[in-house]
Amino acid sequence: MAGFGGDRGFGRGTLQRGVTALIAVAAGAGALAGQSVEPGFTSSEWNVAPAGFVGGFERLGSGNFALFDGTAVQELSALDGSVVQTLFTPPGFVFGAFLRASPDGGKLYFGESSNHEIWEIDLATLQAQVVLTVTFPFDLAFAPTGEAYVTWSPGFFQGSHVARCDFVNGTLDDVVDSPEASGPLWFDAAGDLWTALPDFSSFPPKPDATELIRIAAADLASGIGPGAYDATQAPVIAQLDGAYALVIDDGGDVIISDANYGTLLSVDPATGAERRLGEAGGFDAFLYLAMADEAHGTFEPWQPADAGTLFAIRSDFWSYNALMAIHPARARIDTTPPTPIPPGLFDLAITGATPGGAGLLFVCDGLSSEVALRNRTWPAPLFLDLDFINLQAFPLLLDGNGEYHETFDNPGLAGVSLAAQFVTGASLSGPFFGTSEAIVVTLQ
């Protein structure tokens, strides 16, 4: 595939001639079996809380969500964001900080910054108790080994700490010290702690003033007991405009919400390269995040929809709070009229591919199933499990919307079937990003 150049000759005329030739071969053989988000993604959204400040969001083991709506911790349906039941109502008004489920899914921890308390909610009995008192808690994360860590601050412009939590005895052990305000917490599979060092020397904070850092598991362990690890010694992975929440997808990318500038970013942990996933729009902000990883592919653009879903709370802080679900979207191949196509002219359309890019259209005279490959260089299903007899590949150039359109003539072929799938990329020499769903077109 890498050998194809950018010659315009690989466009409409080449495809027309190639498909016509393939139709002729197939006819001789008889009938055969046959946004606010960036390109490559799609989204849906529900209003999930009254106007005002929400204070915590989490995905539960059932697939439903927990959200502190400013008054109570509510369980929300994964189907439409509607309230299923109230999980906990604090005694009096509080500003919520976070919600975090325990590793076994049986408990939910709610931190608030009014009374400076962390509540433990038993999801089976809905009984709740205070397990820690800590000043201005901001976020909580569980290490792969099960220990809980909370980030907290003694006050404005007084730095922050990451502390190891003992919920049984109600005690804390500060293991990381930072001169900056508290940032979001997340552990990767290796036990390294990811957080951010925000800069509040101006408002809005200066672009690229927030540092995304990774604290190695060994460095974190060195802070247990007397002393603490200095967060400024950790390697800086990326410079961000802000970081309100972060999660790590099953491919290892770090996804960050920025409440200051209303963006969602994905950061490659190996290179620090940033990719924008979406924008909140206007003066809106992205706040809390949750991730649902799936078994088919990874959370990358132009992948199957079941490659993972990112959930984000989007808010303007005074008129609405919405739950946004973002997942990959593959390119599409469609015909007008749809199959089976009667004799006469018909249109072929490729949509949702790489804007201003290019790709390869594979066409053959049969289709059985897709081959599902899972890797970081090309995590999508690669192409059809094709009968490679009469297989042809047509390089195509896409327009600025990531589309390709062409009109063909069906001379009347009495039920000939062709299978097709499109591979979308940045150029005809790559890189290639993903595939469309395969289609079978029957020409009557």
The residue that leads in pLDDT, 369 or 178, is 178
Cβ atoms of 56 and 96 within 8 Å: the answer is yes
The residue that leads in pLDDT, 204 or 35, is 204
CATH tag, 8-38+331-443:
2.60.40.10
By three-state DSSP, how is residue 197 classified? Answer: strand
Look up residue 306 and give its DSSP letter. Answer: G
Where does 249-308 show beta strands of DSSP type E? 254-258, 263-267, 274-279, 285-292
| Domain spanning 41-328: CATH superfamily | TolB, C-terminal domain (2.120.10.30)
Given a cut of 50, is residue 24 above it in pLDDT?
no
Full DSSP string of 390-431: T-EEEEEE--TTS-EEEEEEE---SSEEEEEEEEEESSTT--
- Going by their DSSP bridges, the two strands 285-292 and 416-425 should be labelled as unpaired
Stated pTM of the model = 0.86
Give the chain's radius of gyration (CA, Å). Answer: 26
Which of 20-29, 209-218, 385-394 ranks highest by mean pLDDT? 209-218
Mean pLDDT check: name the lowest of 62-66, 140-144, 297-301: 297-301
* Domain positions in the chain: 8-38+331-443, 41-328
* 8-38+331-443 and 41-328, same CATH topology: no
Q: Exposure string (b/e) for 65-94, b if CB count within 10 Å is 16 or more? A: bbbbbbbebbbbebeebeebeebbebeeeb
- One-letter amino acid for residue 393 of the chain: A
Tokens of 236: 């800086």
pLDDT digits (tens, 9 = 90+) for 85-140: 999 999 999 999 999 999 999 999 999 999 999 999 999 999 999 999 999 999 99
How many CB atoms are located within 10 Å of the residue 17 CB? 11
Given a cut of 80, is residue 214 above it in pLDDT?
yes
pLDDT for 440 equals: 84
Percentage of residues in the chain having pLDDT higher than 70: 86
Query: In the chain, how many H helices and how many E strands?
Result: 2, 33
In this prediction, residues 159-181 reach a mean pLDDT of 97
